[in-house]
Structure 1
């Protein structure tokens, strides 16, 4: 409903859904921000308030200015796959060792460095190369130049060469790559948590790092009923009452 699926996928293919709860996740983050905003307002006014959010709204917001484009220009964004109507080359390319990398040249200087790197500097002198939108009209030619070069190199060599040329590139990770990536390791983005049932396990860490009040994961998920007695005690039930409930099979 947000319009995400309508613009995701190849031009001649069907709309593509995300393979995970994308709208749910964005809504959770946005709602947490809304709650913090309401709490800050309470600190100033002394009054609480209702936070009203629909799951379709945050993902619609992060999709960008599509409503504005349609309202003012009648422009309808279509599916372009990994390509862009605003710049080129921009796509995913397969390396000689069977991996994939993503390249984007949103800046003119980056586009020029990429062409020099892949051995096609003559394209820089073409009149249409001077702007991203006109480069996008020649996507096939630019994709062929970049794709052929990357296809002759391993992922490691391609990434290294692009980084040395100060051209934007990124390996397309699956979860195996994520678990071994040195940047994720340095950030502790995937951290180890001791679980009483499963033992040590690795999972995503707290989303951000705070210098004065850093967060931490206390448990991966409590066993069923682990906190029942404590919660019932907070509700005023005595230990004898809790024991009686257990003997009756209510707990």
Structure 2
């Protein structure tokens, strides 16, 4: 089996695509990870200090578990881009690559002579994705930008939470994740156009404040045409009811959706109020939402008198939509997730097998594969620069001694080093 094949011996869809991941933290690195999962050769280019995500969040035996996930399936090199030698090495790598992702503030890459115009001149086929909080232009472009700011400015926080509570931010990198998914999609569009049409790459500008706004649905159209601004409704929605979370007899929680009329009718018949189905207002999801207090009282009362197993069984028999509210330990034990292989064991040089989310989706002909967690800082530097650029051991020693490709922190135990 070659490194370009899955364990099943089938090719990965992006084999032969080389990606330089010069980004840090979550959004753009997540996009690069998705490309790596499906076979792209992704080379993570880190500053000698390392990506700040290495030290962010839970750790075990010196391994940052967040970084182990977002850096998986990548090769890793150290390169000081503020040095002339580092800049030249990146230009040389870009000349032999298909994609470069970066998330520095606008103007930083240009200061290093690594902007779009310079890299496009070096490699006309290169696709360059630039990820920033606010985009490459506009009055906010120079501001530091993070997912939290996008979750706030997009209107997400405004509609998230209970009516009598404050705007509520998500407890994870929601906007970053959405931007990362968008990045992978944008890169594939650019590669497809390059290879099918004129053979040239292009520059992609992603502002983290925008992809999450798209997921907010038709709010702009609703405001434009009706003057309405969506407000916080907790677990409820203006579109249908009952739709909420409900506590069972033993204190577990379940969530119910009645997006279809047939499901709403089944729920009310199941919970002992078939008479409500015959009410004129029940025939419309929007009108049902105006009677959410009544419907929640009926459904919540019925669920509160029963254990979760009985609730789940009764809803399944009635053909109604319900799901338990899980924490991560319950996700990992659920038979449906197990059947899909949603959580997989990934080898790590220090920790051994590490459980993490598997591939985002399954492909029958050219599947991807999660091969390893994030490598140590600079673990592949000498190999990559020797293999791709033909740098000699003597030249590599010079660059190490000059600090251009030398990590400032110790490599992880078990890493191959140099």
TM-score by structure 1 length? 0.95
Return the alpha-carbon distance in structure 2 between the equivalents of residues 222 and 249 of structure 1: 23
Q: In the alignment, what sits opposite 1:53?
A: 206
Q: CA deviation at 1:249?
A: 7.9
Q: CA deviation at 1:128?
A: 1.8
Q: CA deviation at 1:193?
A: 1.0
Q: In the alignment, what sits opposite 2:280?
A: 127
Return the alpha-carbon distance in structure 2 between the equivalents of residues 113 and 54 of structure 1: 44
- C-alpha change, 1:195 and 1:91, in structure 2 (3 Å) is same
Q: In the alignment, what sits opposite 2:256?
A: 103
Instruction: Tell me whether 1:221 sits opposite 2:374 in the alignment.
Output: yes
Return the alpha-carbon distance in structure 1 between the equivalents of residues 330 and 208 of structure 2: 31
Q: CA deviation at 1:7?
A: 0.6
Return the alpha-carbon distance in structure 2 between the equivalents of residues 78 and 131 of structure 1: 21
Query: Please, which of 69, 89, 93 is the counterpart of residue 242 of structure 2?
Result: 89
SS at structure 2 position matched to 1:52:
strand
Query: Please, which of 154, 164, 167 is the counterpart of residue 15 of structure 1?
Result: 167
Q: CA deviation at 1:210?
A: 1.2
Q: In the alignment, what sits opposite 1:237?
A: 391
- C-alpha change, 1:74 and 1:119, in structure 2 (3 Å) is same
Instruction: Tell me whether 1:24 sits opposite 2:176 in the alignment.
Output: yes
Return the alpha-carbon distance in structure 1 between the equivalents of residues 395 and 261 of structure 2: 73
Return 5+ residue gaps in structure 1 as ranges.
none
Post-superposition Cα deviations, 1:51-99, rounded to whole Å, max 9, x if no partner, equal: 1111111110011000001111111111111011121111000111211
Return the alpha-carbon distance in structure 2 between the equivalents of residues 177 and 237 of structure 1: 50
Q: In the alignment, what sits opposite 1:115?
A: 268
Q: In the alignment, what sits opposite 2:157?
A: 5
SS at structure 2 position matched to 1:51:
strand
Q: In the alignment, what sits opposite 1:177?
A: 330
Post-superposition Cα deviations, 1:161-184, rounded to whole Å, max 9, x if no partner, equal: 111101111111110111111111
4+ long deviations beyond 4 Å: 243-246
Return the alpha-carbon distance in structure 2 between the equivalents of residues 244 and 7 of structure 1: 56
Taking the TM superposition and a 5 Å limit, the aligned residue runs for 1:40-79 are 40-43=192-195, 44-79=197-232
More helix by share: 1
Q: In the alignment, what sits opposite 2:49?
A: none
Return the alpha-carbon distance in structure 2 between the equivalents of residues 241 and 45 of structure 1: 37
Instruction: Tell me whether 1:168 sits opposite 2:168 in the alignment.
Output: no
Return the alpha-carbon distance in structure 1 between the equivalents of residues 402 and 331 of structure 2: 45
Return the alpha-carbon distance in structure 1 between the equivalents of residues 293 and 319 of structure 2: 23
How many residues align? The count is 250
Return the alpha-carbon distance in structure 2 between the equivalents of residues 241 and 69 of structure 1: 62
Q: CA deviation at 1:105?
A: 1.0
Return 5+ residue gaps in structure 2 as ranges.
1-152, 407-418
Q: CA deviation at 1:245?
A: 5.4
